[in-house]
């Protein structure tokens, strides 16, 4: 999705959280359910104002985050494009139903505006502590898509991306933002309708009596009719056969679980989004995401001015972890620096891919403060 | 004669070739509820496509898999939240939720009171067997004081919830209590629960001999049904009996019947105004 450049595009001055709403509505989101929590609440508040004004738009404030995710799963099964937003504590409450979303292949978009933790932690301070929770927070072995955004414009673009991936692969998609991006106000460009792609789930074309809700397809993603559209089928969180009914037959269990991985893992090129800055001739590279990637971009520019051949790999997709893009970088550089507002949740992925090839330096900060460009520059100029 | 007709009718609504035999024990009340639900939907003349049955986790939750509607078997305690999303997304659909007593009042207690408070247009059938059936007979929020279960070996010491009082106080539009022994009345309650606007609750006393009966000195499922017959008393009669003489009796009938519009109706009316309609 190219950043739109046309002059007649609408420009607004928006918070990251507002940009999420704009992106969601552009992607066709017409259902929001959730429970307020700092620093994500603006997303919910703006949705409460906007959704009633669009045809078929529905909004409901639930009694807790478990209710929030339950309601969006129900609405998604009923054919809506759904969003909920939360922060760490609420995200924890959603985990059981997140797994339900995975096994029932229900498109969902969940935005987690990360704050300092653990527990209620630092409600208004930034952190990147929920990265591995997004990957592994629910129970059971499963594949999942986790995205991030590092500035307000990206909040809009990555929200559209999240909806597209959720619909394309029939899966929950988690968008992680940190408090700084969510609460930074900057100018963004709202693209025109024809400047971005909107993907909707594939509807079945066969007559209802032939429809098998979980049958293998070329892409591994079965078509998905809405509840009430004449296709009467069973949805369950229990491991199910192609008809959607519970099974414990080893061959059927294996088939379902393997397809749930395969439908995502065979399209990594479509899912793993990264942005590279000055990596062509880089000798040292930063791998970063979220607001930290923004600090890193400036640090890389400053390092270049000082004669250091530095580069940046900005991860817009965190999971499935962009192995290919990381490997490409490993052949070029002598050192990789991974700054994060946690004790090393993505650097462990980087080290796994690196497997001892080059030196990996981490910068970890868990004091509720941003990692400033100078802190990254200091390491960049010393390696 | 009438019986054969009834069976034929029920067969029209079952997913025979898909998921049978069912999991219910011999003598379980949940199968009777399944029959009652089907007769009620048939009696109202609803199209199968317009009905969505949402169930929680527990023996009661399995009911959804057997009936040929749009069916969703959710997570334990959360059926009402899924149903709320479905109803808000498809306000014209008849969304019927099937939950156990543990499902609805323990893990899902918060969702129950809030579904009632916001008066979402969903019909909740609460299959109360006073026990956790599926997990092997632990006590539930409705296990009567003094009753035995796997986790109350010395008898339940806690107080139990009265589902009817709970839902009435929380603001449900329609609240009724029936039993699987009194099926004709039960059919009528379910029908009324479905047609009444807003949130409707039908508590259904449904015996579980396997987990509750055996531990509480019932000799057979039949004995449990006989006890149910004695216990369940129409509200009017119940109110005439002096409190000291009520003993184990439980009032049954329709306790609340209000006509307030459901949340979804109010929401879409507001939305139409936002969109410039009138
Ligand atoms: C989060 C969660 N906790 C616990 C369970 C285990 N569990 C399954 S069914 C059940 C209780 C069922 O009892 P009830 O709701 O009364 O229904 P019944 O089986 O008696 O019809 C429990 C505790 C679960 N599935 N999920
Ligand atoms: S355990 Fe109890 S509730 Fe479950 S099927 Fe058997 S009799 Fe019914």
Give the number of whichever ligand sits closest to the CA of residue B23: 2
Among residues A271, A195, A143, A263, the alpha carbon closest in space to that of A27 is found at A195
Task: Provide the total of helices (H) and of strands (E) in chain A, helices listed first.
Answer: 13, 16
Q: Is the distance from the beta carbon of residue B264 to the nearest atom of ligand 1 less than 6 Å?
A: no
Question: Tokens representing B251?
Answer: 């009032």
- Residue A335 Cα, gap to closest chain B Cα (Å): 47
- Residue B155 Cα, gap to closest chain A Cα (Å): 32
ipTM over 0.90? The verdict is yes
Between chains, do B88 and A55 touch, taking CB under 8 Å as contact? no
Q: Is the distance from the beta carbon of residue B126 to the nearest atom of ligand 1 less than 6 Å?
A: no
Among residues B6, B46, B79, the alpha carbon closest in space to that of B191 is found at B46
CA dist., res. A54 & res. A28, Å (int): 10
Residue B264 pLDDT exceeds 70:
yes
Give B-chain residues touching A51 at CB under 8 angstroms.
271
Among residues A199, A189, A131, A134, the alpha carbon closest in space to that of A162 is found at A199
- Residue A220 Cα, gap to closest chain B Cα (Å): 22
Give B-chain residues touching A70 at CB under 8 angstroms.
74-75, 78, 80-82, 84-85, 111
pLDDT band at B195 (very low <50, low <70, confident <90, very high): very high
User: Residue B254: how many CB atoms within 10 A of its CB?
Assistant: 18
Beta bridge partners of A146: A174, A319
Per-residue pLDDT of B211-262, as tens digits, reads 999 999 999 999 999 999 999 999 999 999 999 999 999 999 999 999 999 9
* B8 phi and psi angles, rounded to 5 deg: -60, -40
Give B-chain residues touching A226 at CB under 8 angstroms.
90
Q: Is the distance from the beta carbon of residue B76 to the nearest atom of ligand 1 less than 6 Å?
A: yes
> A8 CA distance to ligand 1 centroid (A)?
57
Q: Which residues line ligand 2 (CB under 6 A)?
A: B 24-25, 28, 30, 59, 129, 133-134, 208-211
Among residues B60, B136, B42, the alpha carbon closest in space to that of B98 is found at B60
Q: Which atom of ligand 2 is nearest to the CA of B59?
A: 4
CA dist., res. A288 & res. A268, Å (int): 19
Binding-face residues of B in 226-265 toward A, CB within 8 A: 263
Per-residue pLDDT 10s for chain A (383 aa) are 555 555 567 999 999 999 999 999 999 999 999 999 999 999 999 999 999 999 999 999 999 999 999 999 999 999 999 999 999 999 999 999 999 999 999 999 999 999 999 999 999 999 999 999 999 999 999 999 999 999 999 999 999 999 999 999 999 999 999 999 999 999 999 999 889 999 999 999 999 999 999 999 999 999 999 999 999 999 999 999 999 999 999 999 999 999 999 999 999 999 999 999 999 999 999 999 999 999 999 999 999 999 999 999 999 999 999 999 999 999 999 999 999 999 999 999 999 999 999 999 999 999 999 999 999 999 999 98
Between chains, do B86 and A227 touch, taking CB under 8 Å as contact? yes
Give A-chain residues touching B109 at CB under 8 angstroms.
none
Sheet holding B94-100, edge to edge: A234-236, B70-73, B51-55, B94-100, B122-128, B200-205, B174-179, B250-257, B232-234
Among residues A51, A277, A319, A325, the alpha carbon closest in space to that of A174 is found at A319
In terms of Cβ atoms closer than 10 Å to its own Cβ (0-12, 13-18, 19+), residue A356 is exposed
Between chains, do A232 and B85 touch, taking CB under 8 Å as contact? no
Q: What angle do the packed helices A347-354 and A323-330 form, to 10 degrees?
A: 60
Q: Does B22 touch chain A (CB under 8 A)?
A: no
Three-state secondary structure call for residue A278 = coil
Identify the residue whose C-alpha is closest to ligand 1 atom 10: B58
| Closest Cβ opposite residue B82 in set A73, A230, A234 | A73
Among residues A288, A308, A293, the alpha carbon closest in space to that of A381 is found at A308
Q: What percent of chain B has pLDDT over 90?
A: 93
Residues whose CB falls within 8 Å of the CB of residue A343, separated by 6 or more in sequence, listed in order = A364, A366
Three-state secondary structure call for residue A113 = strand
Per-residue pLDDT of A194-248, as tens digits, reads 899 999 999 999 999 999 999 999 999 999 999 999 999 999 999 999 999 999 9
Q: Does B136 touch chain A (CB under 8 A)?
A: no
Between chains, do A228 and B110 touch, taking CB under 8 Å as contact? no
Residues whose CB falls within 8 Å of the CB of residue A326, separated by 6 or more in sequence, listed in order = A287, A313, A350, A353, A354
Identify the residue whose C-alpha is closest to ligand 2 atom 2: B208
B51 backbone φψ class: left, alpha, beta (φ>0; ψ -120 to 50): beta
Question: Which residue of A49, A51, A56, A71 to mutate against B (max B Cβ within 10 Å)?
Answer: A71
Per-residue pLDDT of A162-193, as tens digits, reads 999 999 999 999 999 999 999 999 999 999 98
What is the secondary structure of A302-329 as a DSSP string?
A: HHHHTT--EEEEEESEEES--HHHHHHH
CA dist., res. A67 & res. B211, Å (int): 30
pLDDT band at B1 (very low <50, low <70, confident <90, very high): very low
Give B-chain residues touching A72 at CB under 8 angstroms.
85
Give A-chain residues touching B90 at CB under 8 angstroms.
78-79, 226-228
CA dist., res. B209 & res. B221, Å (int): 5
Contact present, B98 and B125 (Cβ < 8 Å)? yes
Between chains, do A234 and B65 touch, taking CB under 8 Å as contact? yes
* B52 phi and psi angles, rounded to 5 deg: -125, 125
Question: Tokens representing B89?
Answer: 């997304």
- Residue B175 Cα, gap to closest chain A Cα (Å): 21
Contact present, A186 and A121 (Cβ < 8 Å)? no
Q: Could you tell me whether strands A58-61 and A284-288 are parallel, antiparallel, or unpaired per DSSP bridges?
A: unpaired
Task: Tell me which DSSP letter residue B252 carries.
Answer: E
A220 backbone φψ class: left, alpha, beta (φ>0; ψ -120 to 50): left
- Residue B263 Cα, gap to closest chain A Cα (Å): 10
Contact present, B78 and B57 (Cβ < 8 Å)? no
Q: Which atom of ligand 1 is nearest to the CA of B57?
A: 9
> B130 CA distance to ligand 1 centroid (A)?
12
Give A-chain residues touching B49 at CB under 8 angstroms.
228-230, 232
Q: Does B12 touch chain A (CB under 8 A)?
A: no
CA dist., res. A316 & res. A238, Å (int): 32
> B55 CA distance to ligand 2 centroid (A)?
16
Between chains, do B111 and A67 touch, taking CB under 8 Å as contact? yes
For A51, the closest chain B residue by CA position comes to B271
Q: What share of chain B is helix, strand, coil (3-state, %, to 5)?
A: 45, 20, 35
Give the number of whichever ligand sits closest to the CA of residue B132: 1
What is the secondary structure of B176-212 as a DSSP string?
A: EEEETTSHHHHHHHHHHHHHSSS-EEEEEE---IIII
Q: Does B182 touch chain A (CB under 8 A)?
A: no
Question: Which residue of A62, A68, A70, A90 to mutate against B (max B Cβ within 10 Å)?
Answer: A70
Beta bridge partners of A188: A12
């Amino acid at each position: 999705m190219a950043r739109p450049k046309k002059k007649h595009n609408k420009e607004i001055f928006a918070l990251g959280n507002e940009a999420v709403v704009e992106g969601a509505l552009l992607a066709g989101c017409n259902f929001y359910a959730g429970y307020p929590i700092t620093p994500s609440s603006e997303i919910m508040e703006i949705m409460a104002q906007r959704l009633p004004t669009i045809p078929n738009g529905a909004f409901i404030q639930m009694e807790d985050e478990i209710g929030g995710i339950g309601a969006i799963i129900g609405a998604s099964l009923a054919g809506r494009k759904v969003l909920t937003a939360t922060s760490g504590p609420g995200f924890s409450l959603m985990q059981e139903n997140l797994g339900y979303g995975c096994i029932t292949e229900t498109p969902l978009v969940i935005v987690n505006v990360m704050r300092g933790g653990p527990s209620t932690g630092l409600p208004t301070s930034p952190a990147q502590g929920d990265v591995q929770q997004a990957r592994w927070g629910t129970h059971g072995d499963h594949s999942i898509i986790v995205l991030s955004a590092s500035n307000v414009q990206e909040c809009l673009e990555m929200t559209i991306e999240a909806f597209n991936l959720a619909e394309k692969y029939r899966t929950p998609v988690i968008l992680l933002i940190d408090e700084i991006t969510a609460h930074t106000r900057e100018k963004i460009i709202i693209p025109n309708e024809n400047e971005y792609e909107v993907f909707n789930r594939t509807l079945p074309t066969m007559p209802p009596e032939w429809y098998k809700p979980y049958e293998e397809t070329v892409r591994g993603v079965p078509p998905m009719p809405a509840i009430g559209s004449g296709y009467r089928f069973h949805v369950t969180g229990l491991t199910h056969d192609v008809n959607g009914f519970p099974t414990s037959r080893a061959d059927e269990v294996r088939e379902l679980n393997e397809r749930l991985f395969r439908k995502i893992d065979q399209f990594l090129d479509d899912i793993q989004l990264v942005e590279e800055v000055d990596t062509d001739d880089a000798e040292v590279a930063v791998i970063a995401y979220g607001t930290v990637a923004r600090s890193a971009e400036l640090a890389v520019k400053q390092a270049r001015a000082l004669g250091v051949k530095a580069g940046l790999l900005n991860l817009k997709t965190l999971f499935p972890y962009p192995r290919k893009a990381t490997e490409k970088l490993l052949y070029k550089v002598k050192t990789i620096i991974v700054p994060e507002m946690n004790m090393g949740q993505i650097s462990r992925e980087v080290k796994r891919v690196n497997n001892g090839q080059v030196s990996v330096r981490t910068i970890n900060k868990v004091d509720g403060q941003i990692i400033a460009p100078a802190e990254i520059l200091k390491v960049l100029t010393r390696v | 004669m009438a019986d054969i007709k009834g069976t034929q009718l029920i067969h029209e609504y079952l997913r025979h070739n898909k998921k049978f035999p069912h999991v219910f024990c011999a003598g379980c009340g949940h199968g009777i509820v399944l029959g009652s639900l089907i007769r009620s939907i048939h009696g109202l003349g609803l199209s199968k496509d317009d009905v969505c049955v949402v169930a929680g986790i527990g023996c009661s939750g399995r009911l959804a898999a057997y009936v040929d509607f749009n069916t969703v078997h959710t997570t334990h305690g959360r059926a009402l939240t899924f149903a709320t999303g479905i109803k808000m997304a498809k306000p014209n659909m008849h969304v019927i939720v099937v939950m156990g007593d543990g499902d609805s009042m323990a893990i899902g207690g918060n969702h129950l009171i809030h579904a009632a408070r916001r008066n979402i247009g969903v019909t909740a059938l609460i299959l109360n067997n006073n026990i956790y059936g599926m997990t092997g007979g632990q006590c539930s929020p409705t296990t009567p004081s003094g009753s035995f279960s796997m986790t109350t070996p010395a008898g339940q010491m806690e107080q139990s919830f009265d589902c009817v009082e709970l839902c009435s106080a929380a603001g449900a539009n329609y609240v009724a209590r029936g039993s699987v022994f009194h099926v004709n009345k039960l059919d009528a309650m379910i029908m009324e629960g479905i047609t009444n606007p807003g949130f409707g609750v039908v508590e259904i006393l449904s015996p579980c001999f396997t987990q509750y009966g055996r531990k509480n000195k019932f000799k057979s499922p039949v004995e449990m049904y006989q006890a149910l017959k004695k216990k369940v008393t129409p509200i009017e009669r119940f109110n005439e009996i002096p409190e000291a003489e009520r003993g184990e009796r439980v009032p049954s009938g329709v306790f609340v019947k209000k006509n307030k519009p459901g949340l979804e109706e109010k929401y879409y009316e507001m939305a139409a105004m936002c969109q410039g309609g009138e």
